């Protein structure tokens, strides 16, 4: 089966990542080790797909600064097509301050920089890079008016939409929600959107029902160590997570979203695409960093083969 084109719309940041023994309490000062890594939800998702052998286009905005040049180079080296990336004079590149404890938990604060100034016009211009029958992945780090324009162009361009509503923000129109083919929130995002606290597949089912009422065609909720839950108008199922030692959860959701899109674009059935994306996320959390922790297709296949052997024993 021919691979469908893939394009991502989202944010890119330089991550200032402090590895600490544990996350601090308010007012507390801790010692940590600093690393500077490429990041940003959209960039992480695009890199996840590229590591799996895809050549996705990516729209983002970078400042004309040292960080922007480093981030652009990192995307290109990962195999992401950067011809739709905007280099913005006089604007700083996005920056994130990330703290990661030894248990893998993290805290993140973001200065969006140039990411914040994406507009309906700049996004419309970038849609010129969307190829026929493409899958388009968007996240909520770019401004709502820009997302609205992207979704409005779906009918004319003929693409399919995967929408990761992170970070959740208000203002998305009813028409925009109805244009979404796959909505992929995590537990906290699901709670913000529905008021339902997701702890297991049962509560995920209740939340997914509410999300379908928004008009999206399918809902895919990630539940961290519990797995993932899928629901559309004709079927629903939950899949357990793969047991791994968690080192760093930074970028796990991005790894999942980028991989899910990549496998769908390769013609993998939805259930199998979710399972394979969960394997990508499991490998991601077993390593430090965001983009640096994204696995290759060969690594994913080896991991899944090992899981199959363990299931048969």
Domain boundaries defined on the chain: 6-12+41-94+113-312
CB 290 within 8 A of CB 250: yes
User: pLDDT category, 249, cuts 50, 70, 90?
Assistant: confident
Read off the pLDDT of each residue in 119-144 and give the average, rounded to a whole number: 96
Indicate the angle between helix axes 270-285 and 252-265, nearest 10 degrees: 150
Could you confirm whether 64 is annotated as catalytic? no
CB 55 within 8 A of CB 7: no
Q: Is residue 290 over pLDDT 80?
A: no
pLDDT in tens, 31-84: 999 989 999 999 999 999 999 999 999 999 999 999 999 999 999 999 999 999
State the pLDDT at residue 43.
97
User: pLDDT category, 121, cuts 50, 70, 90?
Assistant: very high
pTM for the structure as a whole:
0.93
User: pLDDT category, 313, cuts 50, 70, 90?
Assistant: low
310 three-class SS = helix
pLDDT in tens, 67-80: 999 999 999 999 99
Q: Which of 103, 111, 254, 272 is catalytic?
A: 254
Q: Is residue 172 over pLDDT 80?
A: yes
State the pLDDT at residue 119.
97
CATH superfamily of 6-12+41-94+113-312: Ribokinase (3.40.1190.20)
């Amino acid at each position: 089966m021919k691979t469908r084109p893939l394009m991502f719309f989202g944010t890119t940041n330089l991550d200032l990542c402090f590895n600490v023994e544990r996350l601090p309490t308010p007012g507390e000062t801790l010692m940590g080790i600093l690393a500077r890594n490429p990041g940003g939800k959209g960039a992480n998702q695009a890199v996840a797909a590229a590591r799996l052998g895809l050549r996705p286009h990516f729209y983002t905005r970078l400042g004309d600064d040292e960080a922007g040049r480093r981030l652009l180079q990192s995307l290109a080296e990962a195999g992401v097509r950067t011809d739709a990336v905007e280099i913005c004079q006089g604007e700083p590149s996005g920056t994130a301050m990330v703290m990661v404890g030894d248990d893998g938990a993290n805290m993140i604060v973001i200065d969006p920089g140039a990411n914040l100034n994406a507009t309906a016009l700049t996004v419309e211009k970038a849609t010129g890079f969307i190829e026929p029958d493409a899958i388009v992945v968007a996240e909520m780090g770019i401004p709502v008016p820009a997302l609205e324009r992207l979704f409005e162009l779906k009918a004319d361009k003929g693409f399919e939409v995967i929408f990761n509503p992170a970070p959740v923000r208000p203002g998305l129109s009813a028409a925009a929600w109805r244009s979404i083919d796959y909505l992929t929130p995590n537990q906290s995002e699901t709670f913000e959107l529905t008021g339902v606290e997701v702890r297991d597949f049962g509560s995920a089912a209740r939340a997914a029902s509410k999300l379908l009422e928004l008009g999206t065609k399918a809902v895919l909720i990630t539940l961290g160590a519990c797995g993932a839950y899928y629901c559309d108008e004709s079927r629903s199922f939950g899949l357990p997570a793969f047991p791994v030692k968690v080192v760093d959860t930074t970028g796990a959701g991005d790894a999942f979203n980028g991989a899910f899109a990549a496998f769908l674009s390769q013609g993998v059935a939805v259930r199998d695409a979710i399972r394979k994306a969960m394997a990508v996320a499991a490998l991601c959390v077993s390593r430090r960093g965001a983009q640096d922790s994204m696995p290759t297709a060969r690594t994913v296949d080896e991991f899944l083969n090992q899981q199959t052997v363990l299931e048969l024993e």
